[in-house]
Chain A
Amino acid sequence: MKIVVCVKQVPDSWAEKKLNPADNTLDRDAADAVVNELDEYAIEEALQIQERMGGSDECPVTVLTVGPDKAIESVRKGLQMGANDGVHVVDDALHGSDALATSAVLAAAIDRLAPDLVLMGSESTDARMSVVPAMLAERTGRPQLTFAGKVDIADGVITVQRATDYGYDVVEAALPALVSVVEKINEPRYPSFKGIMAAKKKPVETLTLADLGVEPTAVGLSGAWSSVQEFAARPPRAAGTVVTDEGDGGTKAAEFLAAEKFI
């Protein structure tokens, strides 16, 4: 069995983010870059499945990312945690790609790597669209097992608990399949010193769009199927009323709610 984990490098989720007025894309220099938090859960899940399957020889784990030069750091993080090798798709034409284009590039890479299982986080903390896993399932023809809070594999059948508004659905499919995981599916490990040292020697393959047979015109800002026309800082909210509770804070809050017709 072979696993590919898709990861995305994003601005630190605790940092203030902004758009670059030159081309209306995310200003990636404005904040520290980290691995998308939810993708760490996907890496951890892959490593736990690998352990259950009998280790690296039986079940190698590859970390895949699409992004600028710097995005290789997110592949390295996965290798430090324990993944076996990495693939970095990097191409100048990719800048400004939308989710549809990104999913097309990932799909081409996945078709080339042909893993039994694709794992990824259920959304990125920068764009927060939460659509790439579904797009990737559509493009690669793999069963879509998204928003998984628990993953079990036995005899070529994968079963997940898919988080829903009311609780969860139990969903099953035959491998090969695609799974996106939710927060709290596991507790991602911290890379050990040994892991950090070992990661330096692990292979990372660099691929271009040409290697994957993707036309440069199909990606990037010019290939995007939607475009940002303009953006502006949200006007600051008008300063509200803040009172200090002197035994009547609850009553005053109720008066406010009544004045606003909520009660």
Chain B
Amino acid sequence: MSEVLVLVEHADGDVKKVTFELLTLARSLGEPAAVAIGDVSDDLVASLTAGGADTVYVAAGPEFGQHVVAPKVSALQSALAASSASGVLVPATAEGKEIAARLAVRTGSGLITDAVGVSAGFVAEQSVFGGSTLVQSAVTTGTPIIAVRPNSVAAEANAGAGRRVDLDVTITDADRAAKVTERVAQEKAGRPELTEAAIVVSGGRGVGSPEGFAVVESLADALGAAVGASRAATDAGWYPHQFQVGQTGKTVSPQLYIANGISGAIQHRAGMQTSKTIVAVNKDAEAPIFDLVDFGVVGDLHVVLPQLTDEVTRRKG
């Protein structure tokens, strides 16, 4: 059986959840082989082995993170050359898709992004046009490169052989063209990343003010969820733009999405419609969001959410 490469996402020494999802998916397509780039510790390799990697290709060194994307493309390309991989899976994050894009150009391979599933023969399922249409696509040239959305499959712990292979990667001057001179962290600490979170709690026009987001954040924290916002809320300046969910913002596909004071215009649906379970709270019983929900409450979110938060805290406590 041939190898299936999985580009590892990791930060601060920890493997991101989406990597384990992709290793699980790779197991259904071939022999999972992780490609770990940058600051790679023995613990990280052990964690990838436990997560299902039969082989861990390692391109270690600080320089991979000091330039935009291109050095990582070179690392993934040398993993592809060193293996007999039949396909490459990357997380459909902003950077994952950029790495995949450049790898596709360099290796003359077709690329499919934002897959929500991959079946035998690397047939990718995509959910497009705001989730209204399901598309089955396949790569017809080169090695299939598929960017898969976080939360598309459930990670299964199934330890692999964990054979470590250190790659000898040549970083070219062209790879060094765009230099990262500083990293600035803005995200509020303590909440999971929006695109990776298993649960997302969002607020929209009905939240009413920046202060109004406190009830949304309280529910999110009680559930261990990320906080999102509709475009109406970010355009109004009530919540930072980087948390916008929708057609011009982030696309999320969590296990549970709770929409509060969000009407459910296509602009927003495009960013959340593939969520597994959808709950909405809205004053307007006619809001289109209620067409999507598994459970909805017609009511004032400023009354319903605090009660829900208390109840979640009580049940968890």
Contacts and interface: CB of A to CB of B under 8 A. Distances in A.
Contact of A131 (B97, B281, B299, B310): B97
A144 B285 contact: no
Contacts of A171: 68, 178-181
Given A128-B251, A137-B102, A245-B303, A230 B296 contact: no
Given A38-B248, A251-B307, A233 B132 contact: yes
Given A19-B133, A135-B104, A228-B135, A173 B140 contact: no
Interface stretch (A54-62, A76-84, A161-169): A161-169
A262 interface: yes
A184 interface: yes
9 contacts: A14-B265, A19-B135, A132-B101, A134-B97, A165-B195, A167-B184, A226-B111, A234-B132, A256-B295
A231 B315 contact: no
Interface in A244-263: 244-245, 248-254, 256-258, 260, 262-263
A13 interface: yes
Contacts of B110: 98, 100, 224-226
Nearest to A169: B180
Given A169-B183, A171-B181, A262 B256 contact: yes
Contact of A146 (B73, B98, B180, B299): B98
B179 A244 contact: no
A166 B281 CA distance: 29
Contact of B267 (A14, A164, A233): A14
Given A17-B129, A226-B140, A262-B256, 7 more contacts: A14-B267, A130-B98, A134-B98, A168-B184, A170-B182, A250-B307, A258-B315
Contacts of A14: 265-267
B295 A129 contact: no
Contact of B297 (A24, A231, A243): A243
Contacts of B241: 183-184
Interface string A95-116: 0001110010000000000000
Given A131-B100, A165-B93, A253-B308, A229 B133 contact: no
Contacts of B242: 163
Contacts of A137: 102
Contacts of A134: 69, 97-99, 101-102
Nearest to A180: B98
The 6 A-B pairs at the shortest CB distance, nearest first, are namely: A245-B299, A250-B307, A225-B110, A167-B186, A254-B311, A143-B177
Contacts of B291: 237
Contacts of A253: 279, 281, 295, 297, 304, 308, 311
B262 to A, nearest CB: 15
Interface of A: 13-19, 24, 37-38, 98-100, 103, 125, 128-135, 137-139, 141-147, 159, 161-174, 177, 183-184, 224-234, 237, 240-245, 248-254, 256-258, 260, 262-263
A128 to B, nearest CB: 7
Contacts of B101: 99, 131-132, 134-135, 138
Interface string B100-112: 1110111011111
Contacts of B135: 19, 24, 228, 230-231
Interface in B87-130: 93-95, 97-102, 104-106, 108-114, 123, 127-130
B78 interface: no
Contacts, number: 277
A24 B106 CA distance: 27
Contact of A166 (B100, B133, B187): B187
A242 B68 CA distance: 47
A215 B144 CA distance: 23
Contact of B295 (A130, A145, A241): A241
- Of A17, A134, A169, A254, most buried by chain B (CB within 10 Å of CB) is A134
Contacts of A165: 93-94, 187, 193-195
B81 interface: no
B4 interface: no
A144 B68 contact: yes
Contacts of B106: 138
B112 to A, nearest CB: 5
A244 B112 CA distance: 43
A21 B51 CA distance: 41
A130 B195 CA distance: 15
A234 B281 contact: no
Contact of B298 (A18, A226, A244): A244
B46 interface: no
A231 B129 CA distance: 12
B105 A234 contact: no
Given A165-B193, A251-B311, A129 B266 contact: no
Nearest to A256: B295
A167 B69 CA distance: 17
Given A141-B174, A226-B111, A256-B279, A231 B133 contact: yes
Contacts of B60: none
